[in-house]
């Protein structure tokens, strides 16, 4: 998550203000910046201890991530003892999630096997600083730190997310570009390789030729359009996407009690209603061929349309649950018997 500060200064201007001599008129700016960073970025638990002792600092490593505190209630700001509850919650969550513990991942790129203490690729332990300082020569900001193994965090984000987080003040153009690339690369998935695309296209061609005799094409252009659409849908179906990409595509806002209906999916764009069945020809959507009343009759099926035209009994069901737990089934004699006894029942069955 990137937060852009309003009315922020240009990186070059900010650097000049930071690197000015301490006795200059910009000393207040430097000190205010340090106070601001210390308020939002924490690299130790000194501000969250009641009576900080040596035993408290040593007990930080004894916490484990299997604690039930992640499910504990969030302190309410309206409580009279909110500050005390917040300190306890932040101290517990930081001890469980922000303390680095060396694993094999820390040394997977280490080539030196003779040393007893190989370097951690995540650069732990960190150097300890008594006070926050700004290097006048390089402009490097060194935050106050009293614990070498705690990853920096923000107390409010930690209370909200309740997992390992990281926070960094980005004040240079090079850092901004590097972190934007890192975040974009982290939340997206790689495209299909060339040989995987070839295999999928070959499979799509086989399926298209197999069903060619069942479909009546109007002309060669219609056949070409359907063939290209089949290849595109095959590639899109096999393309892996991340949870962040899926969330952005679906625009799905859900709560614990209700779900909002999805009006538009970017990969299935609706521009008109489907009151006229002839309009299906103009939609670039993926349809599956299924048998109708008998094997000689084929119908085009689409789960997105099924969800849009679902019965009223399923109004509160979200798209994901509909895809996972419901399916269409042919009516049987027993189903007809049940519907005659109780017409209110729906023919949809859960898996």
pLDDT of residue 274: 40
Given a cut of 60, whether residue 130 has pLDDT beyond it is yes
pTM for the structure as a whole: 0.53
Task: Give me 91's structure tokens.
Answer: 């101290």
Higher pLDDT, 129 or 275: 129
Q: Please answer whether residues 109 and 123 qualify as being in contact, where contact means their C-beta atoms are separated by less than 8 angstroms.
A: no
pLDDT digits (tens, 9 = 90+) for 68-96: 566 777 788 888 899 898 898 899 888 88
Task: Please determine, for residue 202, whether its predicted confidence score (pLDDT) is greater than 50.
Answer: yes
pLDDT band at residue 270 under the 50/70/90 scheme: very low
- The mean pLDDT value for 241-257 works out to 60
**How many C-beta atoms lie closer than 10 Å to residue 213's C-beta?**
7
Assess contact for 265 and 323: CB atoms under 8 A: no
Predicted pLDDT of residue 266: 39
Transcribe 157-224 into DSSP letters. HHHHH-S--------SHHHHHHHHHHHHHHHS-PPPPHHHHHHHHHHHHHHHHHTGGGS--SSHHHHH
Confidence tier at 260 by pLDDT (50, 70, 90): very low
Question: Which residues are CB-contacts of 223 (< 8 A; sequence separation ≥ 6)?
Answer: 217
Q: Is the pLDDT of residue 13 over 50?
A: yes
Contacts of 300 (CB under 8 A, 6+ apart): 280, 287, 288, 289
What backbone phi and psi angles, to 5 degrees, belong to 186?
-75, -40
Average pLDDT, the chain: 74
Nearest Cα residue to 82 out of 93, 94, 71, 90: 90
Question: Using CA atoms, how far apart are residues 45 and 126, in angstroms rounded to an integer?
Answer: 15
Percent with pLDDT over 90 in the chain: 5
């Amino acid at each position: 998550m990137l937060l852009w500060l309003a009315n922020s200064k240009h990186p070059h201007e900010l650097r000049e203000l930071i690197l000015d001599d301490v006795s200059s008129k910009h000393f207040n700016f430097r000190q205010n910046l340090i106070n601001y960073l210390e308020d939002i970025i924490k690299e130790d638990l000194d501000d969250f201890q009641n009576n900080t002792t040596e035993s408290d600092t040593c007990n930080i490593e004894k916490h484990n991530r299997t604690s039930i505190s992640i499910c504990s209630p969030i302190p309410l700001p309206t409580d009279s003892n909110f500050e005390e509850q917040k300190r306890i919650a932040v101290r517990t969550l930081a001890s469980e999630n922000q303390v680095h513990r060396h694993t094999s991942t820390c040394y997977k790129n280490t080539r030196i096997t003779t040393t007893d203490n190989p370097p951690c690729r995540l650069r732990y332990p960190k150097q300890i600083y008594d006070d926050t300082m700004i290097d006048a020569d390089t402009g490097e900001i060194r935050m106050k730190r009293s614990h070498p193994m705690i990853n920096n965090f923000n107390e409010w984000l930690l209370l909200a997310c309740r997992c390992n987080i990281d926070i960094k003040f980005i004040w240079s153009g090079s850092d901004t570009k590097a972190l934007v690339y890192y975040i974009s690369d982290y939340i997206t998935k790689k495209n299909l390789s060339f040989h995987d695309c070839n295999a999928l296209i070959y499979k799509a061609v086989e399926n298209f030729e197999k069903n060619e005799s069942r479909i009546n094409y109007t002309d060669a252009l219609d056949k070409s359009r359907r063939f290209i659409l089949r290849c595109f849908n095959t590639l899109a179906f096999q393309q892996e996407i991340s949870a962040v990409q899926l969330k952005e595509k679906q625009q799905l806002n859900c709560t614990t009690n209700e779900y909002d209906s999805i009006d538009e999916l970017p990969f299935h764009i609706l521009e008109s209603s489907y009151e006229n069945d002839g309009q299906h020809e103009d939609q670039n959507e993926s349809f599956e061929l299924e048998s109708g009343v008998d094997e000689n009759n084929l119908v085009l099926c689409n789960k997105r349309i099924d969800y849009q035209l679902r019965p009223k009994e399923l109004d509160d069901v979200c798209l994901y649950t509909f895809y996972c737990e419901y399916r269409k089934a042919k009516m049987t004699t027993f189903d007809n018997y049940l519907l005659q006894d109780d017409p209110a029942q729906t023919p949809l069955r859960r898996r």
